[in-house]
Amino acid sequence: MPDTIPTALPAALPALAPGHVRHGSSIGQPLTRRDGALKVTGAARFAADNHPPGMLHAVMAVASIAHGRVQSLDIAAARAHPGVVEVMTSSNAPKLARHPDQTGQPFTYKLDLLQDDRVRYANQPIAVVIAETLEAATEGALLLRPTYAAEPSSTSLDQAERFVPDTVGVGSPPNETSGDVAAGLADADSRIEATYDTAPQYHNAMEPHAVVARWDGDRLFLDTPSQGLSMAQARIAGLFGIDAADIHIESPFLGGGFGSKGAVWAPQVLGIMAARLVGRPVKLVTRREQMFGPVGHRAPTRQTLRLGADRDGHLTAVDHHTLTASSTFDDFFEPSGRVSHTLYETPNLRTTHEAVRLDTGTPFFMRAPGEASGSAALESAVDELAEACGMDPLAFRIANYAEQEPKSGKPFTSKKLRDCYARGAERFGWASRPLQPRTLRDEAGLLVGWGMGTASFPALMMQATARATLHADGTGLIELGAHDMGQGAWTAFAQIGADGLGLDAAAVELRIGNSALPNAGMAGGSAHTATAGSAIHDAATAAIRALADLATGDERSALFGAGNQGVVARDGRLHRKDDEQRSERYADILARAGRASLSADGKAAPNAANQAQYAAHAHGAVFAEVKIHPTLGQIRVTRLVGAFAAGAIINPRLVTSQYYGGMIWGVSFALHEHALHDPRTGRVMNANFAEYRVPVNADIPDMEAILVEEDDPYVNALGVKGVGEIGITGTVGAIANAVWHATGIRVRRLPITLERLL
Amino acid sequence: MSIPVALTINGRRHALVLDDPRVTLLDLLRERLDLTGTKKGCDRGQCGACTVLLDGRRVNACLALAVSHDGADIVTIEGLAESCGLEPGQLHPVQSAFIDHDAFQCGFCTPGQIMSAVGLLREARSDPNLDDDPERVRELMSGNLCRCGAYLGITEAILDASARLRDAGAEA
Ligand code: FES
Ligand code: FES
């Protein structure tokens, strides 16, 4: 709790309202995906679908130990294999301009690029075989038969020494306290202390990391999926000592990213190095098992929560301790405690983080990094405390509703969480839930349990630029290096551009996914629509302003003298605000001015004044039903209802899909995903889709996502919060709590598997 | 080594001579015939991204060696609509249902999902209740992973396409 709690909202800042632009013609419409026809016919070209003339195939050989050195590789055997062109190892890998452990730019992490013979984690690349065919390269990689000088490795939280990291997440302090947690716990009438374990998880987008690399002198042409084109350019430029502007990346479609494609990883750079080494274009596609190591993951956590509440069920203290892990050689610390900063009102709040270093690849941002694991623990703990207080879990949450952000004391830009609770509960039928566990059965005799959790995710703004153009034929063009990894940028950004330009979406061309376009920042932190969308809005507004200047300053125009602020754009015409009958077509304005087109640049950035005064988060409530076999312990999620408030909704069809996807990741987190390390070798034992379990169609129940209306005048000009990650949060806890309600057993180790119920 | 293999792919006969017996049907399509609509998600039969119709049945192309299928008839996502007699540019009912029901996000698993769905609808000819029971559709589509989590849309799209085909008296 901060020293001062604002008693009233701060003097309202000016709302970031649009000027000439009227939103709502395209924005808010459930348009189907613009890239839909390409995706359902196989015509969408993903990175690995490219095949420039003369291209060779590269296959990585990866380490089967987690720590040590490569002693030998049978390079001769690989070279002798018909079709093998070259074997790239630490002895002949091209020299880099910058050592790959030298980071420092944002979102750069240390990479293993065959600069020496050391092995820092299992599945680390140790050689690359380049061949005329994929078959020859694959066989060549097998023929290398590496031998190792292995050293002991640690891959579990119990195996290494703890320390307090300097920062967690992106530059956040590891320990934060307000009030006096010990006193708050001592004062409590009910208290719980519980420890929750979450498993290591690997992103595993369906599309493996891939690159097709082609050098032309010092210019580099790449097809590679990227969630951050300009950061990728900068990283690669640094490694090869070339100009970022000479690196041309095409990434029109990502086959899923979930954070893992936000950085450049070793496989992509090795493909580029291989192309340089052989002087021909090279394609390198990560094999599925190679996705478990060199391309990021979500670290395991062990979180201990100590919560207290008074007689009325009001929290007296929240103490949230996280133990997590990074690699032995680099820093990324899952900020699980962060979620406790924002969700429940409490006078005494402490979040602390400790970490160990493990012989694994470096963990990374994975869909709701921090929030997913933190919410899993917090929502379970809150449920346990509600039980201790004898209260309904929803009533308990409402009793502890935060009117201001607990950590900062700031009011929220908007917060329709009460509506989410009410709408979700009603739809689910929560009111008829018995308080006691193990009381519901279905007609087949299965144990039935109902649980819930609160969802939340920060509404971030990053930086982006965009360009908008009006053509003399009355059409529009929006250009920015934005990224579509499935969230629907191809569609939603066209909708934003269409409203910004006052045109029908069909009359607006969108160009994204290419590094030559204006820098659109990154697709991450659920902030891409908010950020890149705001840049599009800004560019379009500027284009319309310039057009209005042309018209209102020209005495031959019907709009002459209206003044720039006196016109509004709609349906390809500018209208006088004071007399809507007087209007003029864009095409006519441009033609009279002798202009073939008119372009304007726009940008978006966090609004410092608003951020200083307000906290910005999306919220939601998730309700889950599970059915459990009373003797076999088999668990099925049978119903999921989520209600979410995330500001303005650009396209409800796509947003619903994002919520579903997030909630399914929640099912996966709660019941499925678990990368298992062999404690002797440090290898991931289940590095494949049969044993690293993710939900299949039959695992997914009837689901519903309710879009709760929320008007947010402060978060950004579009009023948009993010929707990509929030669905996981809340869902994991809801399922774990439903399992308890069905069985009376608190399983505090995720994923919850049937043997834990027997 | 040269191994002759004759395949009909999307209605076109290919008389191929393979220099390598290890080439899978998937890699043949993707790397040698530029039919890259069929995707590789795992290369070991665990994800379904590579699903094609082989002599009318859905198979994982990554588990099929090209040389073992001499004489086979193969339909991939690129040729699906035309293989059903539709004009170029027209969509198969399953394809358009996938768009209508937002049955994909990134679209990487989508060609495999659609080919698998068409295979399922054809299996339903001999098991008529198979394609109007959501539970069975979910079960029978569970060899096709979707990491984005588009399963609801996928199931709805298949049920919808199946109903539309039935109403039209047409087959998938
Ligand atoms: S690529 Fe064939 S099943 Fe995964
Ligand atoms: S749509 Fe992305 S994996 Fe299915």
Same domain, residue pair A32 and A60: no
pLDDT at residue B132, rounded to an integer: 81
- The per-residue pLDDT for A22 is 62
Restricting to A residues 276-295, those with a Cβ less than 8 Å away from any Cβ of B are: 285, 287-288
pLDDT of residue A21: 60
Q: Does A636 contact B at CB distance below 8 Å?
A: no
Q: Which of residues 475-494 of A touch B (CB under 8 A)?
A: 485-488
Of A46, A206, A660, the CB nearest to B47: A206
Chain mean pLDDT for chain B: 95
Angle at B104 between CA B101 and CA B108, to 5 degrees: 155
So what's the pLDDT on residue A628? 98
Q: In chain B, which residue's Cα lies nearest the Cα of A133?
A: B31
Note the pLDDT of residue A3. Answer: 38
Tokens 């290591």 found at: A200
Domain range for A102: 50-152+204-291
Chain A contact present for B99, CB below 8 A: yes
Both A221 and A268 in one domain: the answer is yes
Break chain A down into helix, strand, coil percent, rounded to 5. 30, 25, 45
Question: ipTM beyond 0.90?
Answer: yes
Please give the average pLDDT of every successive group of 10 residues along chain A, which has 758 residues. 39 51 82 98 98 98 98 98 98 96 86 97 98 98 98 94 96 96 98 98 98 98 98 96 98 98 97 98 98 98 98 98 98 97 97 98 98 98 98 98 96 98 98 98 98 98 97 97 98 97 96 98 96 97 96 94 91 93 96 97 94 96 98 97 97 98 98 96 96 97 95 94 97 98 98 95
Question: Is A689's CB within 8 Å of B96's CB?
Answer: no
What are the two backbone dihedrals, phi and then psi, of residue A209, each rounded to the nearest 5 degrees? Answer: -60, 135
- Interval between CA A16 and ligand 2 midpoint (Å): 35
A113, A234: one domain: yes
Domain termination residue (choose one: A585, A604, A623): A604
| Same-domain pairing of A111 and A59 | yes
CB atoms within 10 A of CB B96: 20
Query: Is the distance from CB of A56 to CB of A130 less than 8 angstroms?
Result: yes
**How high is the pLDDT of residue A14?**
53
Distance from the first to the final alpha carbon of chain B? 40
Q: Do residue A107 and residue A40 come from a single domain?
A: no
Residues A292/A298/A301/A305 CA torsion (nearest 10 deg) = -160
Q: Which of A276, A291, A306 is where one domain is finished?
A: A291
pTM of the model: 0.97
- Do A39 and A138 reside in the same domain of the chain? no
CA distance A563 to A333: 54
Tens-digit pLDDT profile for residues B12-24: 999 999 999 999 9
pLDDT of residue A180: 98
The domain boundary residue, chosen from A575, A604, A633: A604
Rounded Cα–Cα distance for residues A725 and A373 (Å): 12
- Measured CA to CA, the distance from residue A329 to residue A301 in angstroms comes to 19
Residue A323 belongs to some domain of the structure: no
Using CB atoms, which residue from A133, A660, A696 is nearest to B145?
A: A696
- Measured N-to-C along each axis, helices B151-167 and A652-671 cross at an angle, to the nearest 10 degrees, of 120
Closest residue, chain A, to B30 (C-alpha) = A49
Does residue A207 contact residue A287 with C-beta atoms inside 8 Å? no
In this structure, whether the domain defined by B85-168 belongs to CATH 1.10.150.120 is answered with yes
| Whether residues A24 and A84 fall in one domain | no
Looking at residue B88, the DSSP 8-state letter turns out to be: T
Residue A634 lies inside a defined structural domain of this protein: no
Query: Of ligand 2's atoms, which has the minimum distance to the CA of residue A486?
Result: 2
Phi-psi region of A54 (alpha: psi -120 to 50; beta: other; left: phi over 0): left
| Alpha-carbon gap, residue A610 to A459, rounded angstroms | 12
Q: A577 and A516 in one domain? A: yes
Residues A116 and A62 in one domain: yes
pLDDT by residue (tens digit) across B70-92? 999 999 999 999 999 999 899 99
Does the annotation count A710 as an active-site position?
no
Instruction: Evaluate whether B126 touches A273 at the Cβ level (below 8 Å).
Output: no
Nearest residue in B to A139, CA atom: B22
Specify the pLDDT at position A15.
52
**Total domain count for chain A?**
2
Three-class SS state of B51: strand
Domain boundaries, chain B: 3-81, 85-168
Task: Provide CB contacts within 8 A for A511, sequence distance 6+.
Answer: A477, A478, A479, A480, A517
Same domain, A28 and A60: no
d(CA B24, CA B61): 7
Q: Do B107 and A44 touch (CB under 8 A)?
A: yes
Partner A, chain B 56-75, Cβ-Cβ below 8 Å: none
Domain B3-81, what architecture? Answer: Roll (3.10)
Q: Is B8 on the interface with A (CB under 8 A)?
A: no
Quick one: A40 and A108 in the same domain? no
Closest alpha carbon to A96 in A210, A238, A235 = A238
Q: For residue A43, give the nearest of B30, B37, B44 by CB distance.
A: B37
Radius of gyration of chain B (CA): 16
Inter-chain CB proximity B47 and A48 less than 8 Å: no
Q: Whose CA is nearest to atom 3 of ligand 1?
A: B45
Contacts of B47 (CB under 8 A, 6+ apart): A206, A288, A689, B41, B109, B112, B144, B145
Q: Does A152 touch chain B (CB under 8 A)?
A: no
- Whether A532 is covered by a domain: the verdict is yes
Q: Residue B25 CA: which ligand is closest? A: 1
Same domain for A120 and A36: no
Q: Which of A139, A207, A584, A725 is catalytic?
A: A725
In whole angstroms, what is the distance from residue A506 CA to residue A174 CA? Answer: 49
- For residue A689, the ligand 1 atom closest to its alpha carbon is 4
Q: Is the peptide bond before A751 cis (omega within 30 degrees of 0)?
A: yes
Q: Which residues contact A384 (CB under 8 A, 6 or more apart)?
A: A192, A194, A307, A746
We report the CATH number of the domain holding residue A113 as 3.30.365.10
Spacing of C-alpha B28 from chain mean position? 16
For A216, the enclosing helix (H) or strand (E) is strand A210-216
Residue range B101-113: mean pLDDT, rounded: 98
- Please work out whether the CB of residue B64 comes within 6 Å of at least one atom of ligand 1: no
